[in-house]
Amino acid sequence: MKITPTISTLIFFLFVVFSWSCAASADDRVDGFLECLKDQVDNYTSISSLVYTPINSSFQSVLDFSIRNRRFMSASTPKPLVIITPECEDQIAPIIYCAKQNQLQIRTRSGGHDFEGRSYVSEVPFVIIDLLNFSEVTVDAEQKTAWLGAGATIGMLYYNIAIKSSRLAFPAGFSPTVGVGGHFSGGGYGILLRKYGMAADHVIDARIVDVNGNILDRKSMGEDLFWAIRGGGGSSFGVILAWKVGLVEVPETVTVFTIFRDLEQNATQLIHRWQYVAPTIDQDLFLRVIARRNTSADGKMTIRLSFNSVFLGGVDRLLALMQKEFPELGLVRDDCTEMSWIQAILYNTGLPIDSLEPLLDRYQPDVGYYKGKSDYVQEPMPISGFEGVWELFYEPDGKEAEFLLTPYGGKMAEIPESAIAFPHRAGNLYMVHHMIYWEAEQAQDEDKYIAWVRKLYNYVTPYVTKNPRGAFLCYRDLDIGVNNNEGVVTIETARVWGEKYFVNNFNRLVLVKTRVDPGNFFREEQSIPPLILRWTGKEDI
Ligand SMILES: Cc1cc2nc3c(=O)[nH]c(=O)nc-3n(C[C@H](O)[C@H](O)[C@H](O)COP(=O)(O)OP(=O)(O)OC[C@H]3O[C@@H](n4cnc5c(N)ncnc54)[C@H](O)[C@@H]3O)c2cc1C
Ligand SMILES: *[C@@H]1O[C@H](CO)[C@@H](O)[C@H](O)[C@H]1NC(C)=O
Ligand SMILES: *[C@@H]1O[C@H](CO)[C@@H](O)[C@H](O)[C@H]1NC(C)=O
Ligand SMILES: *[C@@H]1O[C@H](CO)[C@@H](O)[C@H](O)[C@H]1NC(C)=O
Ligand SMILES: *[C@@H]1O[C@H](CO)[C@@H](O)[C@H](O)[C@H]1NC(C)=O
Ligand SMILES: *[C@@H]1O[C@H](CO)[C@@H](O)[C@H](O)[C@H]1NC(C)=O
């Protein structure tokens, strides 16, 4: 019998083929991806031991190893289909190619500290490239430079600097386990912020794999892409392999102190006064203030401010400076300890200051639950503003919360907004970090805690930057806006969150993205979209 397909069966057939190819099951995509890798990699044995799928017993532990926020470690958190832990640069291009071929998204993870877990969570089928083994650090003390793999931690960088020189340092963050892949590409700051600016300000070269699998350095990537990955985030542009940084000089002796002041000790007047002092004082002084609720043994609640400082100099000069500029704080010699810069790093982490080895440990036990948000302040907040914040801290859900003010000024005010993609410079007195933490036992109340920190954020609206309201990419916050996960992302969708992170640098980031990844392969909830270059219809296809 001769079968003549009717139009309707043909349409049905086309429909089936079409929908099948668009929505191949996750299993098919994984099979396709793995088959593709076998074709692309000359010696598959050399990479197969680095490829994890859920059938490998260590899949879960490799996934969990770098998770730093337990909110994204639950059974309901979307999991990757594949995790790959490459060991050499030429293993990355085949992964990108095969992910593209099989419509899988890539998430690149370096240290896994993303506040919203974006390096290891996606709502669409995805593969993780986990760079934890790209962790080599080579310090050249003569040249005052270092090359570091994107998967190195800042602790590894600090360690390798310290064993070579006590006079060299690097202006990156507090926690040693933070990965340089996300940290430098988001900006990155720490105790040397007012003296030297952001970590990204000191990046002098980089290696990146682009969407076509090319390995580029500063020269071959071009100054616009090199500009973009210093503060514009890595996840929009490719897989960053390594950074070269310039090291900075610090004195042999620095001085640290942390002093506490409760409401009963004029804490509100002190934090109010702090706003006028900390951003303008000598840039050798980094003095931040952290507010938390504190309950005494007899159950009485108060707000305890912790004035936490590193001064790039000896105690005598520090005391003279504080006596002149901030006598109200009442700093005395006994509050102060002289030490080396690397000891100040350890001190601020809460590690014993006599051993460097813990800086190398990238594993972090006791990962907790948290939600963070950020703001910038350009005009001092009134006393009443702080009093309102304290009231929120007295609410039951404010028990484990933090309101952390980091002074800007100094070098930060000297670097132009457009120097690198990180934009928050002159005009900002300080950055605010709103944080709330909870424990596993309270996990079912997660929404309440998140609601609390959002309430705090809403409360401070009159006192912080507007149009756009500034935010710090390293403190990623999906509340401020997200892209659609699938389909075309418009510039206007991305502008909602993008101008908060990048202010006037947002448009230039879009242009860079349009040049380097016009098909928007490297994408996530807060990645820069390319301009859509519409076909004008003037030519025949
Ligand atoms: C405990 C803790 C302490 C912190 N302390 C500080 C601090 O003192 N100062 C500060 O500025 N910030 C701090 N942060 C924030 C931190 O800088 C950011 O979370 C930063 O993005 C972490 O980098 P990562 O490589 O560990 O993160 P990841 O989660 O691995 O990555 C973060 C983002 O960058 C992308 N990315 C990572 N690596 C690459 C790469 N190689 N190529 C392309 N894209 C990449 C990821 O896809 C993701 O979008 C802290 C965070 C935590 C959790
Ligand atoms: C392939 O890689 C494996 C593991 O790295 C190695 O033992 C083997 O010798 C390699 N084979 C060839 C043909 O290079
Ligand atoms: C995971 O399992 C596959 C199939 O057995 C194997 O080829 C691969 O080497 C395993 N991966 C790791 C990291 O052990
Ligand atoms: C990769 O890094 C992990 C974590 O530091 C380590 O346990 C493992 O041995 C490393 N693998 C290689 C091949 O270096
Ligand atoms: C609190 O501050 C006020 C105004 O600066 C000052 O007069 C008062 O003595 C201070 N009280 C304490 C306990 O320090
Ligand atoms: C109160 O503050 C002290 C000193 O900072 C601290 O040791 C204690 O844990 C705090 N108590 C609470 C309940 O936060």
* 537 pLDDT more than 60: no
Ligand 6 and 218: CB distance under 6 A: no
504 versus 10: which is more confidently predicted? 504
200 & 274 share domain? no
Whether 309 shows a pLDDT value over 70: the answer reads yes
Would you say residue 225 lies in a domain?
yes
pLDDT, tens only, 137-189: 999 999 999 999 999 999 999 999 999 999 999 999 999 999 999 999 999 99
Q: What is the CATH number of the domain that holds 453?
A: 3.40.462.20
- The yes-or-no verdict on residue 392 having pLDDT over 80 is yes
* Mean pLDDT, the chain, whole residue set: 94
Give the number of the ligand closest to the Cα of residue 111: 1
Range of the domain at 205: 137-249
Residue 10 has pLDDT above 70, yes or no: no
Mean pLDDT of 226-244: 98
Domain shared by 411 and 321, yes or no: yes
Q: Determine whether the shortest distance from the Cβ of 434 to ligand 4 is under 6 A.
A: no
> Is 172 part of a structural domain of the chain?
yes
> Is the residue at 107 inside a domain?
yes
Ligand nearest to the CA of 182: 1
Q: 19 in a domain, yes or no?
A: no
Is residue 157 domain-shared with residue 275, that is, in the same domain?
no
From 109, 133, 156, the mutation candidate for ligand 4 (largest count of ligand atoms within 8 A of CB) is: 133
Give 100's strand partners.
Answer: none
Do the domain assignments include residue 303?
Answer: yes
pLDDT above 90: percentage of residues in the chain: 91
Looking at the fold, whether 243 and 259 belong to one and the same domain comes out as: no
Residue 220 lies in a domain: yes
* Band (15; pLDDT cuts 50, 70, 90): very low
Verify that 318 and 420 share a domain, yes or no.
yes
pLDDT digits (tens, 9 = 90+) for 429-463: 999 999 999 999 999 999 999 999 999 999 999 99
Instruction: Give the residue from 107, 133, 159 where a domain finishes.
Output: 133
Query: What is the pLDDT at residue 535?
Result: 58
Of the residues 133, 148, 176, the one at which a domain ends: 133
Section 197-226 average pLDDT: 98
Q: How far is the CA of 387 from the centre of ligand 5 (A)?
A: 16
Q: Is the pLDDT of residue 21 over 50?
A: no
CATH number of 219's domain: 3.30.465.10
Q: What's residue 19's pLDDT? A: 40
- Residue ending a domain, among 450, 475, 500, is 475
What per-residue confidence (pLDDT) applies to 536? 58
Type and span of the H or E element at 473: none
Q: Is the CB of 49 under 6 A from ligand 2?
A: no
Ligand 4 centre to CA of 239 (Å) is 19
- Number of domains within the chain: 3
Whether residues 125 and 155 share a domain: the answer is no
Same domain, 463 and 319: yes
Residue 6 has pLDDT above 50, yes or no: no
Where is pLDDT greater, at 537 or 73?
Answer: 73
The residues carrying an active-site annotation are 475
Q: Is the pLDDT of residue 305 over 50?
A: yes
pLDDT at position 401: 98
Of 290, 281, 357, 289, the C-alpha closest to 323 is 281
Q: Residue 203: left if φ>0, alpha if ψ -120 to 50, beta else—which one?
A: beta
Residue minimizing CA distance to atom 9 of ligand 6:
294
CATH number at residue 42: 3.30.43.10
Q: What is the mean pLDDT of residues 244-253?
A: 98
Pair (59, 146) in one structural domain: no
What was the pLDDT predicted at 213? 98
Mean pLDDT over 381-398 rounds to: 97
Q: Are residues 177 and 268 in the same domain?
A: no
Confidence of residue 481 (pLDDT cuts 50, 70, 90): very high
Q: Annotate 151-182 with b (16+ C-beta within 10 A) or e (fewer).
A: bbbbbbbbbbbbeebbbbbbbbbebbbbbbbb
| Largest CA-CA distance found in the chain, in angstroms, rounded | 103
If one compares 19 and 191, the residue with the highest pLDDT of the two is 191
Q: Determine if ligand 6 sits within 6 Å of the CB of residue 295.
A: yes
The minimum-distance atom of ligand 4 relative to the CA of 65 is: 4
- The secondary structure of 206-274 as a DSSP string is EEEE-TTS-EE-HHHH-HHHHHHTTTS-STTT-EEEEEEEE-EE--S-EEEEEEEEEGGGTHHHHHHHH
Q: Are residues 163 and 277 in the same domain?
A: no
Same domain for 458 and 426: yes
Which residues are within 8 A (CB) of 480 and not within 5 positions of it... i.e. 6 or more apart?
A: 469, 471, 496, 497, 500
46 falls within a domain: yes
Cα(440)–Cα(452) distance, integer angstroms: 18
Same domain, 234 and 101: no
Does the beta carbon of 188 lie inside 6 Å of ligand 1? Answer: yes
pLDDT for 22-59, tens place per residue? 567 888 999 999 999 999 998 888 899 999 999 999 99
**What was the pLDDT predicted at 538?**
58
Residue 8 has pLDDT above 50, yes or no: no
Residue 344 placed within a domain: no
474 close to ligand 1 (CB < 6 Angstrom): yes
Give yes or no for residue 512 having a pLDDT over 60.
yes
Mean pLDDT of 386-400: 97
* 262, 294, 302: residue to mutate for ligand 6 pocket, most atoms within 8 A of CB: 294
